[in-house]
Structure 1
């Protein structure tokens, strides 16, 4: 399924599906459909009164279904989706509870047919456009080969279009508004340069190019929020639609909250590169295209100016052919990132696992509902409702108080997918909770009063099936599928603890996390009993110090022995005490030759989720930082470089005194100025910062005030990255800096915290080194 939507045909509502098939694209339209919701039988009269008072059209049907609290319900069937929406709005805040009233008809139609991404279909008729009507569908298995291209636009701050770039699917083109007489001669072996006279002609040419290429997928960088939104507004200026869908259907862009838009192009999935990588759990200091492309592919944009908008406008005015090259390269960079990360494959596979629209980012709650609810209905139950108060916070993962210090030979033992394995082992499940509470005799005890049925449940089996598929994907080296399954499995705990989920129950989430606490504490006890020292534990990982180990092989042998002992112990423990099969599995993951756990700043107690270590990989030493300055985006390049160099020297037992003093001297003499630039993103429009005024906001406001007075474009009014420095007169953006840098700020705020965290572990004081340096150069 490429796209899905609800359409009206006369007085009926049908589901339109665009499919990628082995014989090309197909449009399938279902038979007329109606949605349903449920009300408890005791509240049926009140619901009928509400329906009649609003002159709504609902049919009422008896059903065998009941709530998870074992209360019988009646089914309400609206004439159409709008009627259901009106009833929901009218009853909002009343004593009458509607169940499953917020499930959209398109989603219900597909999930009840177990149609996850791929379907089989049959239809009674085909119209003159080739649309298959009155179709019946059901879930199927199919791995498509989809065609795709990337799109990128260039425009000014007023959304006046300059050009549109297209790359992929044998359509490599830049459509440029330009006068051929004034355009310098430009040749490219990579793309066709097509000149048009104005914006209307640009939109016409873009429509034609999309029709010719006929892609299944359109991708880009911020392609929904920016490119498609700007193109839709541009078309609106001329009272026209942008017909880039199949069968010449129009692009639809709807804004549902500031900065968030829903984009529909019938027959073409719109997949945004940023959304896809975030869904895949990629993390970068900045998701700017240039940064991500450089990080993943080593290739960046053609324009490297700090003020790209001004550079683009200047190129369009002075060298439009060069702007076309820049535009096309941005399209190529997105395709390069797609190839490197396989994010298109990931989104396709995620859709086949969950039923989510291929273009949708996030959606873990919706994915859970799609997978779980049809099974629950067949067991005779409906789901609950989202808590109006947002739900209670469930206990978090286990985090052990650390023992700070500098260590040699630390092992990391990691439970493989701990929360999914807890769900499997202890049968944590919404239906299992309902049945366990109703029949407690042989139930499995959870936490906070939870009881789980041993044989009536779905989630443990769903996890088992996904686990098996992931193992197969790993064997086949199918990284996108393996990653999609991992993310889905790990999302189930969060969903059950989320107030945005209709299956929310604090007993479910607590029975996962508190069981995790118990498992981690018990396992740490077994390790300590063997004569080793557990110095830290975090969610699913235990850090074990080996004080008397002489070489790496000995440490590895101990790690493997501990792994074997713990797994055997859990299998025996659960079999003997609870008659449960054990799916917990711990792995010896890492041997740190050197390891450092800092204290909380200003205290002697150990910190949590912050450590550094050195391990060997392929014969080379490798540094790893967790939660320390090196992995934080709000620290300067100098701070990151300093920390890495200082820790490397300490871990390899090299002297550090002269190094620290040299860095201080280089800062004060201006040799490190280029590494003292902060990069912080404005997370909201500049005017929305009222309660707090962090340095990057102050710098941005001062810069835009200068721009306003100079008659220049205001650069920082909306979400953007601010590159700034701290001067003797406060923070200033890089391009507006007119005061000397405040070197003491950088020493105190960037260098001192890093040095003070680790120097005492080798008997040194930053103040002593600082004072010596001041004495030498004062």
Structure 2
């Protein structure tokens, strides 16, 4: 089975990880294929005549394919392109022929290795356990040549000679199938370092490497991200820790589970987005149904009346919590709500608002849903079933290794299922439609409202609800139906499992920072039987320094034990005292933030710009979308002396700045009982006389 694919001048070399070692196979006849369709009468014949004159087209032939899921098969032109590098130029040339829109193109922008496996029927799933080797550059920024420091497995190398010698030895001893790199820029850097020392480093199973893409900056959902350069070495998979979602959020086992489902080879899957992997799974389903993959999505939105547009342009269910502390709270969640809505209601781009039914299936919107099975439920159904089976097995597994494997697979499937709903509204989705997005939300709102009504009729009061979760407390003076029984009744009525997640001794719902209204996603509480749950508060935020996060968890524990704001402030005083006596390790005060621009694009002097300036002084790159980590040493300054990079090390910090961070974290803990920052400051100074309503 194919571990990785290498495009060469004379064909494609496949690398197979087998039980007897690594084997290669060369395919000299492979040519990538794209398709063109047109409504012009003799358009395909004329296009074929022109393409046959091009040197970068190997062959053309008319075939029968379906251009969309609800379309019948029609004649299209199959175009075999001479090389992978000519696919985009040939496609762009075809688009310019005739009037705009004369030709529609398909199967154009598939990734290289995925395209090869899809078109040749090769299985990308390794048939044995893969050997890995971790290689980490222990300094910030891009590795410089010569590489002076490197962590290779458990070995820390601190000179170029040691780096090269140790790397060569470990590559030979381990013979890894997968190189897990802290940054892919190590590929050219260590290669050139070896050349300078006249001790060649061969990262692949053959010499050389290829740069597949340059570094770039992008914006997604309002967040700026940085995509590092991508490289390829013969015969081994490169996983770039600076450019991987699935490897970081799951495990290698989780990644390999998705490789099997998508047939996107491991290296491409490691840098792919959630939507990209979901699309690969959808593409496999499309090809199985003889459907082509559009190059440019043409998902025209159906016409809507103004009232219908108003009703459709809404999100999921939200029930704002009343600020405060609630005792004896129970949580219930719909299992994989949005994916299950898709499957149980047959929501799919080709079934929504079909022209074969005139009925109002979607609540509140009046959209019809076709009875013919949709492709999207067929894609998601196996994922839901498999994740449910994995979760059931996890409940009865004690073996740590087996648990880790199953948890990685469950996490990988969770991310695909989480994204399937939002991807229906993504403008660049290959298969999607905004009406699916609207219908899923409409079903979800109806389901949560119905569940809320049933819970209240059964003697429970809903104190919070959002998207797929409900929190309830007993209604005083009412007979109550046990929650598992209510959950079973809701499950039978809706066809989607409502799960009883558990009981909390108490939950505190946090208000918005500058408002008395409850924040939808900020709460913390004590689980019945032990343990705390935190959502949205500082200890769950990636930019929070470890010392501040530890302090907030201690404050929540003090609140649990005493329910006394002054006792919490007494605990806080111990933490501020540690700051003020400068006994805190500055490393535990590290702030990590993501840059949104290049250094020259910022107009304000901030902590982040100061850190970027220090990076630049050290010759380290800080492109937009990358993380910078620093300790604030003098927040009153506006120049680069305001901070110290975590990599530089420091023995001091700005006490006032971090004290404010502690008070802010304490405010999140005490604001549910009416205490704000000014009350906390007064308590710390011993001047507070709390009003009676604070104890109500």
From 269, 272, 285, give the equivalent of 1:362: 272
Distance 1:38 1:6, change over 3 A: same
| Residues 491/770 of structure 1: CA separation in 2 closer, same or farther (3 Å cut) | closer
* C-alpha spacing 1:644/1:209, structure 2 compared with 1 (3 Å): closer
User: Are 2:129 and 1:145 equivalent residues in the alignment?
Assistant: yes
Q: What residue is the counterpart of 2:492 in the other structure?
A: 568
Q: 1:724 to 1:394 in 2, by over 3 A?
A: farther
Tell whether 2:84 aligns with 1:84.
no
SS in 2 for 1:146: coil
Matching residue of 2:147: 161
Kindly provide the CA deviation profile for residues 319-358 of structure 1, in whole angstroms up to 9, marking residues without a partner as x: xxxxxxxxxxxxxxxxxxxxxx7x2222222211211221
Secondary structure in structure 1 of the residue aligned to 2:562: coil
1:279 aligns with 2:237: no
1:657 corresponds to:
566
Q: Matches of residues 251-650 of structure 1 in structure 2 within 5 Å?
A: 251-258=209-216, 260-273=228-241, 278-279=245-246, 282=249, 343-359=251-267, 360-387=270-297, 396-433=315-352, 437-440=354-357, 445=362, 450-477=367-394, 478-548=406-476, 558-570=482-494, 582=495, 584-617=496-529, 621-637=530-546, 639-650=548-559
Between stretches 230-239 and 364-373, larger displacement belongs to 230-239
SS in 1 for 2:291: coil
For the residues of structure 2 that align with 1:692 and 1:44, how far apart are their CA atoms?
Answer: 60
* CA offsets 1:627-669 (integer angstroms, 9 cap, x no match): 1122123334454344333333333334332552674587478
Q: Hey, what's the Cα distance between the residues in 2 that align with 1:741 and 1:167?
A: 36
C-alpha distance after superposition, 1:682-709 (max 9, x if no partner): 53676244144432323553x579xx6x
Q: Hey, what's the Cα distance between the residues in 2 that align with 1:756 and 1:164? A: 42
Distance 1:242 1:505, change over 3 A: farther
CA deviations 1:503-530 (Å, max 9, x no partner) are 1311222222332222112211221222
Cα gap change, 1:143/1:714 in structure 2, threshold over 3 Å: closer, same or farther?
A: closer
Counterpart of 1:103 in structure 2 is 110
Shift of residue 431 of structure 1?
A: 4.2
Distance 1:656 1:40, change over 3 A: same
CA distance in 2, matches of 1:369, 1:763: 48
Question: Which SS does the other structure have where 2:271 is aligned?
Answer: coil
Matches within 5 A, 1:183-194: none
Distance verdict in 2 for CA 1:43–1:507, change over 3 Å: farther
Distance in 2 between the 1:373 and 1:771 partners? 62
Equivalent pairs, count: 632
Q: Distance in 2 between matches of 1:665 and 1:59?
A: 77
Cα shift readout 1:464-491 (whole Å, capped 9, x = no counterpart): 3233333443455433333333333333
Which secondary structure does the structure 2 equivalent of 1:5 belong to? strand
Residue aligning to 1:210: 171
In 1, are the aligned partners of 2:36 and 2:77 still within 8 Å (CA)?
A: yes
Contact kept? 1:410, 1:592, Cα under 8 Å = yes
Indicate conservation of the 8 Å contact 1:493/1:512, yes or no: yes
Describe the shift of the 1:63–1:158 C-alpha distance in structure 2 as closer, same or farther (beyond 3 A).
closer
Deviation at 1:50, TM superposition (A): 10
Shift, 1:421, TM fit: 1.0
> What residue number does 2:642 align with?
732
* Contact 2:362–2:368 (8 Å) recurs in 1: yes
Structure number with the bigger relative contact order (C-alpha 8 A, sep ≥ 6) is 2
Change (3 A) 1:425 1:239: farther
Contact 1:38/1:98 (CA < 8 Å) preserved in 2? yes
Q: Is the 8 A contact 2:317 2:444 kept in 1?
A: yes
Deviation at 1:675, TM superposition (A): 7.3
Structure 1, gaps ≥5 residues long: 119-141, 179-194, 283-340, 571-581
Residue number among 24, 27, 49 corresponding to 2:24 in the alignment: 27
Give the secondary structure class of the aligned counterpart of 2:518. coil
The answer to whether the 8 A contact 1:44-1:74 is kept is: no
What is the distance in 2 between the residues matched to 1:522 and 1:6? 56
SS where residue 267 of structure 1 aligns?
coil
Alignment pair present for 1:219 and 2:203: no
- CA–CA separation in structure 1 for the residues paired with 2:672 and 2:597: 44
Structure 1 pair 736–458 and aligned structure 2 pair: CA distance change class (3 A): closer
**Partner Cα separation in structure 2 for residue 468 and residue 99 of structure 1:** 32
Partner residue of 2:692?
none
How far apart are 1:600 and its partner, in Å?
1.9
Residues 698-777 of structure 1 mapped to structure 2, 5 A cutoff? 698=610, 701=613, 713=618, 719=626, 720-729=628-637, 732-734=642-644, 741=654, 743=656, 746=658, 749-757=660-668, 759=670, 761-762=672-673, 767-768=678-679, 770-771=681-682, 774=685
| Structure-1 separation of matches of 2:477 and 2:552 | 28
Q: Counterpart of 2:224?
A: none
Q: Which residue of 1 aligns with 2:397?
A: none
Indicate if the aligned counterparts of 1:394 and 1:506 stay in contact, CA closer than 8 A: no
Q: Give distance in 2, aligned partners of 1:451 and 1:27.
A: 52
Displacement of 1:152: 4.2
Separation of aligned partners in 2, 1:740 and 1:560: 52
Does 2:13 align with 1:16?
Answer: yes
User: TM-score normalized by structure 1?
Assistant: 0.70
- Maintained 8 Å contact 1:116/1:356: no
Q: Structure 1, residues 45-98: CA drift from partner, whole Å, max 9, x if none?
A: 667469839953462414242334637452231342444321323356843432
Q: 1:456 to 1:112 in 2, by over 3 A?
A: farther
- Segment of structure 1 superposing worse, 686-695 or 727-736: 727-736
3-state SS of paired residue (1:70): coil
Aligned residue for 1:271, secondary structure, equals strand
Deviations 1:534-571 (A, max 9, x none): 12112211111225499xxx99x83323322321332x
Unaligned runs of 5+ residues in structure 2 are: 217-226, 303-311, 395-405, 689-696
1:602–1:68 CA distance, 2 compared to 1 (3 A): same
CA contact (8 A) 1:412 1:590 kept: yes
Change over 3 Å in CA distance of 1:762–1:162 after alignment to 2: closer
Distance 1:103 1:447 in 2: 38
RMSD: 4.2
Change (3 A) 1:230 1:653: same
How has the CA–CA distance of structure 1 residues 562 and 84 changed in structure 2, closer, same or farther, with 3 Å as cutoff?
same
